[in-house]
Structure 1
């Protein structure tokens, strides 16, 4: 009770380098109360992951949520956030923005979530490629989003192809 869950994800298209991010806020019952997507232009996948989380935290703060549990499927992004001494890192400026948000008067927990439980955020991140540059709030009843929310709750597995070298 009293906590909101923020799930975020990033996406970069290999052929163009176009980057996007997206995420959603869920209440204590697991209901989606807010969804967003961002077209980021061009950046690395780690930068997209971090920028998606920053945008989600800004939305949570602006909506008045003061207890946020952020879940991301990028262990690299989480490591950058937690490594406070690494301002010279190539993602240091984004990490600095992140830490400024964390220093506000609220409680934020950050945890890793497996990709199989983050399909809705992945869907929103990929959707960002279809929007103009910037952050866009979305209808939480979007049929595509609802489908992936169900997958997250049920933990439905999906086959993946992995390139072997």
Structure 2
């Protein structure tokens, strides 16, 4: 695949099968402060519950492993039985899938995640590009002011609602693989993007 074709690759969030719920999680570190977020969604893309919090001094890998654990604990507490879980942390996902050596910093968290995973009837893990994880990315931005885990039930912050709207309409983004390890840079494929930007 040439560079132009790779830049024009479309990446977007995909809904799970009808009987499943999907979890997306994300994290970021600004300075030495880590913030994390997740969202659990129905098969139709509607949010069941998003959550976010600040973790303070931490690495991005530890932060993302911890928020994945938070999300699974919440899913278990709500008696969800079939889960698909996605994140853009390749290290965390591959550690769960035993595709790489587990870093000592996250070893105990990974064991906790495996134990939690065993309580579900069905669970699958998938590494995705950050651009397909942008709703979780939007939620994460709310973690800066939250010392403890905060979840939204029956509502979502405006910026998160705007991000969800793209998914509801089945819109995708052009993925530039050269940029996908840097802060998110999205190029909307629809004129709807300018309308949503005006609402923020």
Please report the TM-score for the alignment, with normalisation by the length of structure 2.
0.72
Of 109, 122, 126, the residue aligned with 1:94 is 109
The answer for the alignment partner of 1:31 in structure 2 is 46
Matched residue SS, 2:116: helix
Deviation for aligned residue 1:113:
1.8
Q: 2:64 aligns with which of 49, 74, 83?
A: 49
TM score, norm. by length of structure 1: 0.86
Alpha-carbon offset, residue 155 of structure 1 = 1.7
Corresponding residue number in structure 1 for 2:15: none
Q: Deviations over 1:58-105 (max 9, x none)?
A: 111111101010011111111122228956722101111111101214
After superposition, what is the alpha-carbon deviation per residue over 1:28-49, rounded to whole angstroms, capped at 9, x for unaligned? 1111111100221221101111
Unaligned runs of 5+ in 1: none
| Structure 1: distance between partners of 2:163 and 2:137 | 9
Where 1:91 maps in the other structure, the secondary structure is helix
Could you say what the CA RMSD is over the residues aligned between the two structures, in angstroms?
Answer: 2.5
- Determine if contact 2:97/2:125 at 8 Å carries over to the other structure: no
Q: Number of residue pairs matched?
A: 160
Structure-1 residue corresponding to 2:188: none
SS at match of 1:51: helix
Residue number in structure 1 paired with 2:37: 22
Out of 132, 142, 149, the position equivalent to 2:164 is: 149
